[in-house]
Structure 1
Amino acid sequence: MGVFDDLVGQERAVDVLTRAAAAAAEAVAGGSGVGMTHAWLFTGPPGAGREAAARAFAAALLCPDQGCGHCDLCHQVAIGSHPDLESVRPEGLSYSVRQTRELILRAAGAPTLGRWRVVLFEDADRATEAAANALLKAIEEPPPRTVWLLCAPSPDDLMITIRSRCRVVTLTTPSTEAVARVLAGRESVSPEVAEFAARAGMGHIERARRLALDEEARQRRLAVLSIPVSLSDVGACVAAAERLVKTAEAEAEAATAELNETETAELRKIYGEGSSGKGLNRGLVRGGAGALKELEERQKSRATRVKRDSLDQALLDLVAFYRDALAVRFGAAVELATEDRRADLEAVARSATPEQILRRIDAIMQCRRRLAANVNPQIAVEAMMVSLRE
Structure 2
Amino acid sequence: MSDNRGEGVYPVIAVLGAGAWGTALAAVARRAGREVRLWGRDAAALSRIAATGRNESYLEGIDLPEGLICEPDIARAIEGADCVLMVTPSRTLREMARRIAPHLERRVPVVLCAKGIEQGSGKLLGEVVEEELPGHRIGVLSGPTFARETALGFPTAVTLAFPFAAADRRAPQSAPASRLALSLGNPMFRPYVSDDMVGVEVAGAVKNVIAIACGMMTGAGYAENTRAALITWGVDEMKSMAEALGGRRETVTGLAGTGDLTLTCSSPTSRNMSLGLQLGQGLPRHECFEGRKVVVEGEVNAVSVVNLADMIRVEMPVCRAVHAILHEEADLQRTFADLWARPLVGEPRALDIEMAHPAAGPDTPRAAE
Write 1 or 2 for the structure with the bigger share of strand. Answer: 2
State whether TM-score is above 0.5: no
The TM-score with structure 1 as length reference comes to: 0.31
Asked which structure has the greater RCO (Cα within 8 Å, sep 6+), the reply is: 1
